[in-house]
Structure 1
């Protein structure tokens, strides 16, 4: 009569992980070089761990087969499509759904995946492509608030930086206490000569 030996802690952990991955008792036994009856007994002895492992496997399997909500829920699909046609971003759509306290919630990642995977109409993908191009062009050409034909401070002559040459001025504005007045200032860097004037 063969003598039954319990699995080691390491073997128990390995068997639990393999069970979570959906492997059969025979396959686990073969990998651990144990008899199927030994593996079966261990799972029966620790039925909670075995049940928990199997439950995790079934849940993961179910999640893998889950379909996109935008493919199977027409209400959510129409909500998203209508707003994408209005040039809303997925982030705006997701946030607006929360603010409006819709009966559903949808993440912007889900919307992006639906666009790129072809779940949504091809026209939506074209709209998104146009929005991305426009955004990039706007970010590279947006010069609002910039003074034209200026030279970066890092490119100023060494005589200005080390204050060895006269004639280099540095300008600034100074706001008074309680925001009651505004001054413009010009300071010659070598001599420290200051010119200040009130700004309206």
Structure 2
């Protein structure tokens, strides 16, 4: 198929996207045709073809332009709207179709279509312009984009002057907004300043200006690093992966799971203990609060009231209330194992019991108002319920059998 040069192209018609010409130009060059012959075949200037291949540096009133990559034919669903999609949107809008209908036909989100129409309406007549929208999208797509600071010497000098005065980037950005309220080209956010100092390959600001920052660092340091994670407690934790295998199959009694249920505004709490084999529940009264010392003392008192063969281990999450786990183990001889972060299923019996307890202690209520006698009555009622997982025996019956044995 022979390419036909577009008719009626004049200088007076203004800028126009030469999509077809660009595709044909790159196709000819790929086949080995010289740059001069390819430009003549598609009807463009030789310098236009050079700009498409190599890009253009800013000069005079001309903006910088990135090299144009050859346009590949679309294959399947694209992450971005294509020119065909935009033409379809324009056609359906003329037919008075709804945005949701258009989105369903294109397989897109309604918000995507709505945003596309709102961005590219003509300011005068309000009509959606698909080809202008495609041109804007093509202009926005090239990466990397030139930094705002590098494009404005005045902005760069103002930021450097602020850093020389040892102002923080946030202070500099707020002062710029107050000093130049009607000049958006002088407005930046503080992250832009940090990137100009830290990110390699930008270089909009002098590297030595990083020394004026209060941190004194010349490079960005991540807040979190997997190899430098701070330990949760002063005393090292024993993780659940090191727990004996007998705990997992629930065959041996005496292995407990623990947690807190929290009251209104986090100001009160009740401790919960569940035995894994029998699902027997014990509640801890915490009238003084849920600090590590209060939880440790309540746990120690409760554990010491049980026969030693019924208290073999305790599994807890990594809450701060267990900071005294080592002193608890020294006082009782009961090892404490900690679950992995964000893994509540590793204490499944306890999580289930906490859900049952919310019937007695609703969320958003003051839990310090409940007396030890009331907590004991609630625990007795739960331990007297027949449980399907125990073949319809109650937790109290199972525990009494173990004590008798």
TM-score, scaled to structure 1: 0.52
SS at 1:197 equivalent: strand
- Partner Cα distance (2:205, 2:276) in 1: 62
**How far has the Cα of 1:175 moved from its partner?**
3.1
Q: Are residues 146 and 39 of structure 1, via their aligned partners in 2, closer, same or farther at CA, if it must alter by over 3 Å?
A: same
2:206 is equivalent to residue 121 of structure 1: yes
Quote how far apart the aligned CAs of 1:87 are. 6.0
Q: Please name the residue that 2:271 is paired with.
A: 184
Taking the aligned partners of 1:75 and 1:16, their CA distance within structure 2 comes to 41
2:284 maps to 1:197? yes
> Aligned partners of 2:168 and 2:265: how far apart in 1?
43
Which residue of structure 2 lines up, in the alignment, with residue 46 of structure 1? none
Structure 2 residue matching 1:7: 3-state secondary structure: coil
Residue in 1 aligned with 2:221? 132
How large is the Cα RMSD of the aligned pairs? Answer: 5.0
* Equivalent pair of 1:114/1:120 in contact (CA under 8 Å): yes
Distance change (3 Å), C-alpha of 1:76 and 1:87:
closer
In 2, distance between residues paired with 1:94 and 1:160? 59
Q: Give the gaps of 5 or more residues in structure 2.
A: 6-17, 27-33, 57-62, 67-145, 288-405
Cα distance change, pair 130–188 in 1 and its aligned pair in 2 (3 A): same
What is the match of residue 72 of structure 1? 153
* Structure-2 change in CA distance of 1:86 and 1:189 (3 Å): farther
Larger helix proportion of the pair: 1
Deviation at 1:189, TM superposition (A): 1.3
Q: SS in structure 1 opposite 2:221?
A: helix
Aligned residues: 165
Q: Is the 8 A contact 1:28 1:39 kept in 2?
A: no
> Which residue is equivalent to 2:245?
158
Partners of 2:172 and 2:153 in 1: CA distance? 18
